[in-house]
Structure 1
Amino acid sequence: MALPIHIVTGATQNIALSNSVRLYGSEATVLSTSEGPDGVTMVICEVDTSGLDKSEIAAAVETAKRESEKVVRSGFDVALDESVSHVLDVLGSIEKPLSQVGVKKSASEPLIEGLVSMGFDYIYSKELVSKALKTKPDAGLNDLLKLIDKMLPVESEDIIAQGGWVAMMGTPGVGKTTTISKIAALYCSYYNKSDVALVTIDTFRVGAVTQLEEFAGLLGIDFYVCSSPEQLLELTKTLSEKNLVILDTAGKSQKDTLLHNQLKEYLNGDIKNLLVMSAASQLDVLENTISEFDCFGINGLVLTKTDEAVKLGSALTAILKKGISVSYVTTGQQVPQDILRVAPGTLMDMACKLSGVGSIKSL
């Protein structure tokens, strides 16, 4: 998640700390304090940083310091004789979380803390909590998680089971090739193998082409490598009787993009695009990936490597913000066992179990 780091100034340490309380609340943490000719400068994080990765904190602090030249001072500095006595009454120390100084917590703070502990983005957590409290002013964490579960978009129909051409897109390293193999094997376990074909237009990753070809041979299904619009047009005719054609396309290169767009023309737009993303990725990576592939039109997501993810909050944040439903999740390397069709409650249940919250079904 992106840590909310801020630079706060004051004529004295007490005034700078008072400014921090007023601006960022009692849950803030003082990360560092320095004195200069113009007064005291504090680096503040809006949340308690206990237990967070030190390198993540350090990176966020450096970013805040680089931006500090652009920040106008808060304007809360007041005369010393007007502020010191009040600040000393409220605050007992400097270098510790402000939540320890006796300032009363708001109703939203424990809920925000709960979401952040599950990996949700802090700023977006505040929005979710605000929405929950408007609906139910006395909402607890269980109520909040149930609300978020209802907000998560879910496909009413299985995209793969609908058949037709399904394009699998994704950046290198997210497990796209393995996911294609799992989906093909899963489909073959329910339908006739002769009704399924694998096609790749991503000829830049030779290893992936070889892996798919070998897997198609093991399954006994047709496999095609396509590198030109002419080949693609012939394939749409050759495979017109297939119930399911799974297309491997990274969608990143110019050639790959042109072929994919050409295919949409040949099929009169009758193609469904599934974007494959790793659940172990950071929020900004997930959001950037969705933005990069959005030009194709994304019909659903496949969330891979949930077995490698420490928390699912970042993935759920991206899903909620972008409004794209997850069709499948993968939970390991075994083919085809480690793939799961997403239903209502699936993602939140996994997120709760990973974070030690329990199960959404028991909330």
Structure 2
Amino acid sequence: MRVKRYIVDSMPEALDKIRIDLGQDAIILNSKPIKTGGIFGLFGKQQIEVVAAVDEKEAEKPKRTPAQPSREPIIRAAAANPTAAKRAYQSMAADALANTVAETVAPPDPIVLADAGSVTVRERAPLTAQGGEQSALTRTVNQEDAAQAPRSQEAGGKPAAAAHAGSDQLAVEVRHMRQMFEKLLTSDSRQQLPQPIQTVRDRLLQQEVTEEAASEIIRQLIMEAEPGWEAAEAVKRAEELIIQSLQKAVIEPVGIESNVRYAFFFGPTGVGKTTTIAKLAANCMLKEKRKIGFITADTYRIAAVEQLKTYANILNVPFEVVFSPKEIPQAMERLSGCDLVFVDTAGRNYRNDEYVQGIRELVVADQNSLNFMVLSLASKYSDMRTIIRNFGDVPVSRVIFTKADETEAYGAMLNVAAETNFSISYITTGQNVPDDIIVATPRLIANMIMGE
């Protein structure tokens, strides 16, 4: 193995020299800022010391075609030394090479941009080796030779799909590399992460945030980390990152808009749909002065009809019972004088395809209706994910999280926001009607997760 040390002014300069001296298979073992020159350590010039190495056997191998880039040097370094791999990954992301296009912000999933002469795969870079600036890991593959084959196939009457297939394969390769480095960067090793950032990671995992969502937050923290950070500062910054990630998942205002005529509520059994309906109905009636009506299709659970009927009597609002989806239009017609009608559905086993199909036939998806999926924070996120998947055919407008008072882990809200396109609207905190329900906001959810 050849090892070489460089003293440079910037990481792009180092990458150019490494590529010229050691080739494309070289990896960066270490990089750190140093001062050169000056008198007695004063007035020195700020530079960067970079140590790179290459396996001579790898350098002697014939060069691969650009359409099939190799991950072997990086994977071998990752297996031998995770810390070195982390630095190599950071250095790769420092800035684009001379023939790449740098981006300050890139989406987490690979984006494939194809044109007549090249295929570019852009991947978000977790960290630069100098100063923590954000850049994009961009790899451009010249496919002039590969393009000849599709053109010759066109002449023979075959479709020109080879370029697209090659770009898709390259995107998959980059995605696998990204996942591998995320695991290395966020593995449970306190020697790899600074203590303040490790504190944030421990908190996220304690809150049952998924490994993928936690990795994204930790990666952004590493990019913004400053020397001398205390745990409280890291936690505060993590909270701000969570708020940013939730901006698209929480639509403001999150209340039930004035143009909405029907609000459907569905979800698994025991999550508190009926009580949640009573809370929202009371608030709409008492605070917004809207005429409210109730429809229940929950004729399976014992006393379910009586429960919602009791709330209807307390609020003095009309109440209808339906036994099948075909009866919904008639019930809506009888409640046509109401400004807003709340529809309660039966809570049954979400693994039952027949029940899910019944919900699909019951709910209405148009501009005058909202469909609320009700999920319990007291349930495991693995079960919650299964519920969401099984209700995939039901048009979900927004999500309500219940039973926040029965758990200390609130990471499921961040997980749902990260993995779905659902909007989070309300959080219930008890059984008192109408008080124990609050509007979900990004800051509220971030405070719940980070413990403030």
Fold match, TM over 0.5?
yes
Paired residue type of 2:398: G
Aligned-partner SS, 1:124 = helix
333, 346, 349: which one aligns with 2:431: 333
Aligned-partner SS, 2:442 = coil
Residues 347 and 177 of structure 1: CA distance in aligned 2, closer, same or farther (over 3 Å): same
2:299 corresponds in structure 1 to 203
* Contact 1:233-1:263 at 8 Å conserved across structures: no
Percent of aligned pairs with the same amino acid: 26
Residues 127 and 263 of structure 1: CA distance in aligned 2, closer, same or farther (over 3 Å): closer
208, 217, 221: which one aligns with 1:119: 208
* Contact 1:276-1:302 at 8 Å conserved across structures: yes
Instruction: State the Cα distance separating 1:192 from its structure 2 match.
Output: 4.1
* Contact 2:356-2:391 at 8 Å conserved across structures: no
2:409 corresponds in structure 1 to 311
Paired residue type of 1:144: A
1:141 corresponds in structure 2 to 235
Residues 276 and 304 of structure 1: CA distance in aligned 2, closer, same or farther (over 3 Å): same
2:22 corresponds in structure 1 to none
Q: Distance in 2 between matches of 1:24 and 1:240?
A: 66
Count of residues in Structure 1 that have an aligned counterpart in Structure 2: 258
* Contact 1:169-1:249 at 8 Å conserved across structures: yes
Q: TM-score scaled by structure 1?
A: 0.63
Stretch of structure 1 that moved more, 159-168 or 328-337: 159-168
Residues 250 and 137 of structure 1: CA distance in aligned 2, closer, same or farther (over 3 Å): farther
Q: Distance in 1 between matches of 2:193 and 2:450?
A: 24
1:130 corresponds in structure 2 to 219
The structure with more helix, counted as a fraction of residues: 1
Paired residue type of 1:261: E
Gaps of 5+ in 1: 1-18, 26-96, 359-363
For each residue in 1:313-361, what CA deviation from the matched residue of structure 2 results, as whole angstroms up to 9, or x when unmatched? 23322232223221111111110010111233121122333xxxx3xxx
* Structure whose CA Rg is larger: 2
2:309 corresponds in structure 1 to 213
1:188 corresponds in structure 2 to 285
1:222 corresponds in structure 2 to 318
Instruction: State the Cα distance separating 1:169 from its structure 2 match.
Output: 0.8
For each residue in 1:132-184, what CA deviation from the matched residue of structure 2 results, as whole angstroms up to 9, or x when unmatched? 434x2448232122111121121223342433101011111111111111111
Stretch of structure 1 that moved more, 211-220 or 161-170: 161-170
377, 399, 406: which one aligns with 1:279: 377
Paired residue type of 1:337: D
* Contact 2:356-2:390 at 8 Å conserved across structures: no
Paired residue type of 2:292: V
Paired residue type of 1:127: E
Q: Distance in 2 between matches of 1:243 and 1:122?
A: 44
| Relative contact order higher in (CA < 8 Å, ≥ 6 apart) | 1
1:49 corresponds in structure 2 to none
For each residue in 1:191-220, what CA deviation from the matched residue of structure 2 results, as whole angstroms up to 9, or x when unmatched? 446x11110122212322211111111111
Aligned-partner SS, 1:294 = coil
* Contact 2:426-2:437 at 8 Å conserved across structures: yes
For each residue in 1:75-111, what CA deviation from the matched residue of structure 2 results, as whole angstroms up to 9, or x when unmatched? xxxxxxxxxxxxxxxxxxxxxx975xxx454585444
Paired residue type of 1:223: F
Paired residue type of 1:172: T
